[in-house]
Amino acid sequence: MNFAGLSIGTKVLLVGGLALLIDSFLDWQQISFLGHSAGQSMWHGIGVVAGLFVIALLLWEIGQVTGVTGQLQLPVPATLVSVGLAAATALFTIIKFLVAHQLRHWPAWIGLILAIVIAIGGWFKFGESPATAPMTTTPPAPPPPPA
């Protein structure tokens, strides 16, 4: 795999998704008392959905890069699947950040930043999709008038 040859959107989604997956296992909420700490990672409550979406996003992007998903017959372009997974990952990560507002720890802030990065990567992928390019064809000619 030639990382330099990948599109900007793919690079952002792969790096941002991997970083978010790693960050998701750190304590997003933490309390320390008398030298002992306890915390919760992103993988609690709605964060489970965000975690599953980031895993799905990574698997999809890796499948796209390696060509594994090239044989799939999809009703939408493959880049729109990437965009949807990126949007869902960002949305549920931001929801998790907002819901887990008590005792928020620094990994939650990193997760929020990474969710925004993934959303931007999805935007780049959306711009790369041929299905989203402006149409350049001319409209069909009107039918001839009745004789």
Mean pLDDT of 118-140: 74
Residue 73 is predicted with a pLDDT of 87
- Reply yes or no on whether the pLDDT at 141 is more than 80: no
Q: How far apart are CA 84 and CA 107, in angstroms?
A: 25
- Reply yes or no on whether the pLDDT at 135 is more than 90: no
Residue 1 is predicted with a pLDDT of 66
pLDDT tens, residue by residue, 15-45 = 999 999 999 999 999 988 888 888 999 999 9
- Domain limits, the chain: 8-30+41-131
Amino acid at 95: I
**What is the dihedral sign for C-alpha 42, 48, 51, 53?**
negative
- Reply yes or no on whether the pLDDT at 147 is more than 80: no
Q: What percent of the chain has pLDDT over 90?
A: 66
Non-local (6+) Cβ contacts of 53 within 8 A are 85, 88, 89, 92
